[in-house]
Amino acid sequence: MTDETTATQHTATRTVAAYAAQRPNAPLAKTTVTTRAVGEHDIVIDIRYSGICHSDIHQVGEDWGDGIFPMVPGHEIAGLVSEVGPGVTRWKVGDRVGVGCFVDSCRECDHCRAGLQQYCTGEGGMVFTYNGVGKDGRPTYGGYAAELVVDEAYALRIPDGLPLDAAAPLLCAGITVYSPLSHWGAGPGKKVAIVGLGGLGHMGVQLAHAMGAEVTVLSQSLRKRADGLRLGADHYRATSDTAVFEELAGSFDLIVNTVSADLDLTAYIGLLRVDGTMVQVGVPEKPLTLYPFPLAIGRRSLAGSAIGGLPETQEMLDFCAEHGITAEIELIRAEQINEAYRRVLDGDVRFRFVIDASTI
């Protein structure tokens, strides 16, 4: 390949219809963005569905620091392959694929080699699906769009048994709870608590139940109790009832905290058995405080976990197909995105909004 061809490939672009926030906290509106042309190992995904994760709202609001604008959120992407680059070997046109929170990584560090791309420590680290900068120096744009150009190695296979709309949220909400449940051994004989019955939480209940654990939901109220039990919870308790913290003291092997807001960590740590672990997957904007006494008394651990790597995400999708697990979704049109954001913030979602991308 001559330098001239390389230069042409790098400067060629595609124009894509999308919904974007033009500045922090701005309402999302229809626009077009410019993305890279299809490279040697790229595929184009005709996006059919895109989930709305609470992380999208955090990032549009710059809760976690400066964002890159215009921002096209969306990292729960499901669609069909519509084009393949000349060097693509894994996919053909028409394949059912998904993309989660990252679209590239260094591929060489110990973590990438071990399939833990989400913990890439190589130069530049992992490339976020949106609100990131790709290896070509261009900003990345996410799933609230008509299509996505992505390296073939960073797409996952969505099994035939899973409907694309209800499978989209598995790419973030699903894997984010599957990974800690699997890592900390949720299974028969283990008592697992899921804190918060939102997008992540409702996946956590289904997955922990399918893994064979005894599952308790710890929600702010009993409002969603019937749903929680239907999804597979054995017990459902409201944390507004402070007696819960005495009654359930010392009872869980594993607590997965999906809450997007401040929480009294000290009280929850007290719910763990000796050697139990509380895993923080919710990422509120402000620091959480912890009084270390209950951590020491009981050799308990406070841990964190982020999404999952490519092999584990594929494993999770296959597990969901095998067990008939998907997200419970409310399908919306693109012009309803801003209303959906408000409803997520109000806790008024059962349990994931998914955008019908044909309306973008």
Residues in touch with ligand NAP (CB under 6 A): 53-55, 58, 172-173, 176, 196-201, 219-220, 224, 258-261, 263, 281-284, 306-307, 344, 347, 349
Q: How far is the CB of 5 from Zn ion (least distance, A)?
A: 37
- Asked if the peptide bond before residue 351 counts as cis, ω within 30 degrees of 0, the response is yes
Query: Pick from ligand NAP, Zn ion, none: which does 281 bind, CB < 5 to 8 A by kind?
Result: ligand NAP
In this structure, are residues 299 and 274 in contact, taking their beta carbons and an 8 Å threshold?
yes
Looking only at the bridges linking them, the beta strands covering 156-157 and 147-151 are unpaired
Per-residue binder mask for Zn ion (CB under 5 A), 54-83, x = binder? -x----------------------------
Q: How far is the CB of 281 from Zn ion (least distance, A)?
A: 10
Query: Pick from Zn ion, ligand NAP, none: which does 171 bind, CB < 5 to 8 A by kind?
Result: none
In this structure, are residues 269 and 246 in contact, taking their beta carbons and an 8 Å threshold?
no
- Find the residue with minimal CB distance to ligand NAP: 198
Does residue 140 interact with Zn ion by CB under 5 A? no
Does residue 200 interact with Zn ion by CB under 5 A? no
Choice between 58 and 138, CB closer to ligand NAP: 58
Choice between 35 and 305, CB closer to ligand NAP: 305
* Distance of alpha carbon 72 from alpha carbon 28, whole angstroms: 8
* Distance of alpha carbon 61 from alpha carbon 28, whole angstroms: 12
Q: How far is the CB of 1 from Zn ion (least distance, A)?
A: 37
* Distance of alpha carbon 359 from alpha carbon 50, whole angstroms: 11
* Distance of alpha carbon 66 from alpha carbon 226, whole angstroms: 40
- Judged by DSSP in three states, 319 sits in helix
Q: How far is the CB of 300 from Zn ion (least distance, A)?
A: 27
**Stretches 5-13, 45-53, 123-131, 221-229: which one binds Zn ion (CB under 5 A)?**
45-53
Of 124, 122, 119, nearest in space to 179 by CA: 119
Does residue 33 interact with Zn ion by CB under 5 A? no
What residues does 214 pair with on adjacent strands?
A: 191
Q: How far is the CB of 360 from Zn ion (least distance, A)?
A: 19
Q: How far is the CB of 322 from ligand NAP (least distance, A)?
A: 23
Residue 17's Cβ-count burial label (10 Å; 0-12, 13-18, 19+) is: middle
Query: Pick from ligand NAP, Zn ion, none: which does 196 bind, CB < 5 to 8 A by kind?
Result: ligand NAP
For residue 357, what are its two tokens?
């991308």
Does residue 53 interact with Zn ion by CB under 5 A? yes
Residues 6+ apart with CB under 8 A from 5: none
Choice between 111 and 224, CB closer to ligand NAP: 224
Which of 127, 172, 218, 259 is the binder for Zn ion (CB under 5 A)? 172
Burial 270-308 (b: 16+ CB within 10 A, else e): bbbbeebbbbbbbebeeebeeeeebbeebebebeebbbb
Q: What are phi and psi of 3, to 5 degrees?
A: -60, -35
**Stretches 48-56, 65-73, 117-125, 340-348: which one binds Zn ion (CB under 5 A)?**
48-56
Q: How far is the CB of 169 from Zn ion (least distance, A)?
A: 8
Q: How far is the CB of 75 from ligand NAP (least distance, A)?
A: 8
Q: Which residues bind Zn ion (CB under 5 A)?
A: 53, 55, 172
